[in-house]
Structure formats: structure tokens, C-alpha cells
Amino acid sequence: MLTFAVSRLLRAGLTILFVMTFAFVVLRLSGDPALLIMSVDAPPEAIAAFRKAWGLERPLWEQYLAYVGHATTGDFGKSMRDGRPAIELVMERVPATLAITLPALALKIGIGIPAGIYAALHRNTFADRLTMAVSVAGFTMPSFVLALVLVLIFAVTLGWLPASGADSPIHAILPIVTLGTAGAAIMARFTRSAMLEVLGQPYIRAASAKGVTWPRVVARHALPNAAIPTVTIIGFMIGSLVAGAVVVETVFAWPGVGRLLVSAVANRDLSVVQAILMVIAAWMVSANLAVDLAYGWLDPRVRGASAGGH
């Protein structure tokens, strides 16, 4: 178990390094950073001074090492817009993002998993079909469409809820519902297929054949085994919480990391984009790591199987 954890930890570190390298390479490929950040008509002396300040005339590998060194300490430079350290700007937005994504996650799990289990246990009934139909809609409807439809109904037509802003907890309702609905649909579909697969296994038939009551079969044999693949999807959802909030935060003018990313991209505020990229990568990798470890704990077979090399 220890070597398993260590190898996963190393992999996580490698992925982070990969993201850093990706950002570095893309940054360099995109042209001369001096010209990119300063305006084209800036005086040559100013550009030379900028290069010196950022060490742009040093060899590339030195720049890379310096970059990685800075990035690991959370130093991504200052935002072009207001001159504050980029990482600070990002971190102060994190609570707002969590304020809508965490309740949405609870919604996904709280609705999606029971719905999926129910649909699997009542396969081919009306309830099952309905669950699946709703979940297909959840798959194919983009979040901005769902968001706008909800705005149209609850803000414009009914006037019950505010359409955008972050002035009160009420404002969080529509973003949370938007994020939660789509996620719950995916969760339900996934849980259902995981349950169905487990219910089709010989050991389930064996258990019911030897006289174990059905509720007990479900509780003792089916649910724990279906939990294993479900943990993966939950982990993935936790990992992509921030990424998933990009569109929704923008629609509802919610002051989170996602909206910051969109405006940073629109303004080409590269330090902020890089800081967000690293924060999301670190978040994603930690979530994956947690899932891998949970997997190892839930399913002893995995400890070897997935780490045994290709």
C-alpha cells in the first residue's frame, strides 16, 4: 500500500510538472512575451528593460528552471490589469467558487446516486425511462442554455429569483441549481449502469439463490461493489468543479475563479491565466490522488492491477 501511495504521489507531481511545462512551452510558442505584454509601439528601451527584468535574454533552459522555481512557490508574476500578484487575485476568488460548486456537488450526489440506484432496481419501468430521458437531456444540454432557460423561467417570467449578481445567498440558488442539475443527470446515468453491471454478476444471483433476502443482497453485495466505479466519477466531478463553473459563473456574474479566467483570457492577462491553470491542475491532481487512494482502500485488487505498469 505504501509503494502504491508513493507511486501515485510521484505521478501527481509529474502531472503538475507537465502542466507547468505546457504553460511554459505555449507561452514561448505564442511569440515574444515582451511584445505580447507590452504594446507594439512601446519604445525599444522599454522593451529591453522588460526583457532584462524578466530574464528573457538568458538561455531557454535557465528561463525554464527559473519559471518552474517561481511557479512552485506560487509566484506567477503580477496581473497586467491591476498590478497585484496573480496568485492573490486567484486565491481570493476561490471561496466564491466553492460557495456554489460545493452545494452543487451535494446536489449531484444527493439526487444522482439515489435516482440511479432506483432506476437500476426498477429497470424498464416508467420511473427508469423517465430518469434516463432526463439524464440524456442533462448530457446534451449545454450549461449556458440550461442557465438561461432557468433565468427565463425563474427570474424573467416568475420574478422569484435574481438573474445575476452575488449580493445575497439567494443569488447563489440559480447557479447551484444549474450546476447541480446537469451533474445529477450524469451521476444518475453512471450509477445506474454501475448498479446494473453489478446486479448482473454471478455472485448476486448466487446470493439470492441461497436465500438471502433481496434488500440484503442489494445492501450487502450490490451497493458496495457499485460504489467502486461511482467513486471514480465523484472524484472526476470534484476535480472538474472549478472548470465546470467557468460558464455558469459568467452567466450569473458570480465573482468566482471561472469568471476571472474568462476575463483574464479575454484581456490576455497571462500571469493570471497561468496562476489559474496551476491552481486548477493542482486541484485536479489532488482529487485524482484522493480517488486513487480511496480506490485502493475500497478495492484491494486495484492496488496491484492499476499500478503494475503497462
Partner 1 sequence: MAMRDSLPAVLPATGIAALARRIAGLPLGVSFAGLWLVAMVVIALGAEFMLPYSITAFDLKARLMPPVLFGGGIAHPLGTDELGRDVFSRLLLSIRMSLLIAFFGTLIATTLGTALGFLAAHFRGRLESVILMAIDFQASMPFMIIALSVLAFFGNCLPLFIALMGFHSWERYARISRGLTLAANEQGYAAAVRQLGAGPGRIYGLHILPNIASTLIVSMTLTFPEIILLESGLSFLGLGVQPPLTSLGNMVGYGREYITRAPWIMLAPAGVIVLTTLSISLLGDWLRDRLDPTLR
Partner 2 sequence: MTALLKAVDLCRDYRVHTGRGLFAAKAILRAVDGVSFEIEAGRTLGLVGESGCGKSTTGKLALGLIAPTSGSVRYRGVAMPPTGSPPWRELRRKMQMVYQDPLGALDRRLPVGVQIMEPLVIHGTLLPNEHRERAAAVMEAVGLLPHQFDRYPHELSGGQRQRVVLARALMTEPNLLVCDEPISALDVSIQAQVVNLLLDLQDRLGIAYLFISHDLRVVRQVSHDVAVMYLGRIVEQGEAESLFAEPAHPYTRALVSAIPVTGGGSRRERLLLQGDPPSPVDVPTGCAFHPRCPFEVAQCRSERPKLEPLPGGHPGGRRVACHRVGEPAFRVAA
By CB under 8 A, tell whether 9 contacts partner 1.
Answer: no
281 CB-contact burial (10 Å; exposed 0-12 / middle 13-18 / buried 19+): buried
Contact 128, 135 (CB under 8 A): no
Contact 115, 131 (CB under 8 A): yes
By CB under 8 A, tell whether 230 contacts partner 1.
Answer: no
Residues 20/24/30/32 CA torsion (nearest 10 deg): 150
By CB under 8 A, tell whether 101 contacts partner 1.
Answer: no
By CB under 8 A, tell whether 100 contacts partner 1.
Answer: no
Contact 112, 188 (CB under 8 A): yes
By CB under 8 A, tell whether 141 contacts partner 1.
Answer: yes
Q: Determine the Cα angle at 113 with ends 107 and 114, to 5°.
A: 100
Choosing from 35, 48, 66, 149, the residue that interacts with partner 1 (CB under 8 A) is 149
Which CB, 11 or 78, lies closer to partner 2? 11
By CB under 8 A, tell whether 123 contacts partner 1.
Answer: no
Q: Which helix (H) or strand (E) holds 228?
A: helix 223-239
Q: What does the block give as the cell for 94?
A: 476561490
Choosing from 243, 290, 298, 302, the residue that interacts with partner 1 (CB under 8 A) is 243
Contact 258, 246 (CB under 8 A): yes
Which CB, 120 or 285, lies closer to partner 2? 285
- Nearest-approach distance from CB 213 to partner 1, in angstroms: 30
Contact 90, 279 (CB under 8 A): yes
* Residue 80 backbone phi and psi in degrees, to 5: -65, -30
Contact 90, 255 (CB under 8 A): no
Q: What does the block give as the cell for 217?
A: 443482497
Which CB, 14 or 106, lies closer to partner 1? 14
- Nearest-approach distance from CB 285 to partner 2, in angstroms: 16
By CB under 8 A, tell whether 143 contacts partner 1.
Answer: yes
Choosing from 264, 291, 292, 296, the residue that interacts with partner 1 (CB under 8 A) is 264
| Residue 152 binding target from partner 1, partner 2, none, CB below 5 to 8 Å by type | partner 1
Positions in 164-223 near partner 1 (CB under 8 A)? 193
Q: Which helix (H) or strand (E) holds 220?
A: none
Contact 143, 72 (CB under 8 A): no
For residue 85, list its beta bridge partners: 78
Q: Which residue ranges make up the site for partner 2 (CB under 8 A)?
A: 3-4, 6-7, 10-11, 303-304, 307-309
Which CB, 22 or 214, lies closer to partner 1? 22
Choosing from 71, 251, 260, 291, the residue that interacts with partner 1 (CB under 8 A) is 251
Chain residues in the site for partner 1 (CB under 8 A): 14-15, 18-19, 22-23, 26-27, 29-30, 136-137, 139-145, 148-149, 151-152, 156, 193, 239-240, 243-244, 246-247, 250-251, 261-262, 264-266, 268-270, 273-274, 276-277, 280-281, 284-285, 288, 310
